[in-house]
Structure 1
């Protein structure tokens, strides 16, 4: 085996290992998100909590933006938002720029329940990174930013 073949074989092997680790991460994140969603409100589907988490992170927005940002169809978002409104987790408000437009936002109850539910997720991830020093944590964050295409500097 020549040097180029060895590099290609090693690179392929490393890419497969990366794929395995990314799959493990996605799987564990999904399982944890389902668990956290049930903690938020067991009567709701996890997809409803996905909308809540988006509103918690990014603030008020229109239903169409929420559907696009969460990769859900508008009818599903509409149905889930209706449930969230009935449970008083989400409210509709007039858009500050265009009074005819409607924005969705979390109520105080929705924000509080989200904070409580996310504490469990924070604990799970904190346990995983607790033995890393600050340099390792910073390196991991930088690598994820780069991988996710967020490091545009």
Structure 2
């Protein structure tokens, strides 16, 4: 039996690492009654301000139907509201409410600590190298 090539092993390692990180995010978000997608949407709005709902969906890699559902849930929790675009009625923005901002002001610093813990065994140069290598792999994969 032939051993897998290093490239196949790398794929497995990348996927398992991503799943482990997603689990940390899932547990962290769940402490605040959020799922990872809701947390991701709030994080985008927290750092970038109001965004067209379609743009948010692309950034968090979910379909237009799914992003509508997530925004609905965040509206029910009073963390987000919708605002129509005055120039283009086809565009609707998601806007973080004061309650959503207060929540993120409270939980985002703790989230940063959790992510720091994930990368605690790497120094700054190793983290930057990881980012660079994974970007290169991702760009190459898009061309395949």
TM-score by length of 2: 0.71
> Structure 2 vs 1, CA of residues 80 and 140 (structure 1 numbering), >3 Å: closer, same or farther?
closer
Q: Look at both structures and tell me which one has the larger radius of gyration over its CA atoms.
A: 1
Matches within 5 A, 1:1-153: 13-40=5-32, 42=33, 44-95=34-85, 98=87, 100=89, 101-149=91-139
TM-score by length of 1: 0.68
Question: Structure 2: any 5+ residue segments left out of the alignment?
Answer: none
CA distance in 1, matches of 2:58, 2:125: 36
The total of aligned residue pairs comes to: 138
> Structure 2 vs 1, CA of residues 47 and 24 (structure 1 numbering), >3 Å: closer, same or farther?
same
CA distance in 2, matches of 1:133, 1:69: 28
> Structure 2 vs 1, CA of residues 67 and 133 (structure 1 numbering), >3 Å: closer, same or farther?
closer
Question: Structure 1: any 5+ residue segments left out of the alignment?
Answer: 1-8
Q: Given that residues 21 and 118 in structure 2 are in contact (C-alpha distance below 8 angstroms), is that contact kept between their aligned partners in structure 1? A: no
CA distance in 1, matches of 2:137, 2:41: 24
Q: What CA RMSD, in Å, does the superposition of the two structures yield over aligned residues?
A: 3.0
The offset of 1:31, in angstroms, is 0.8
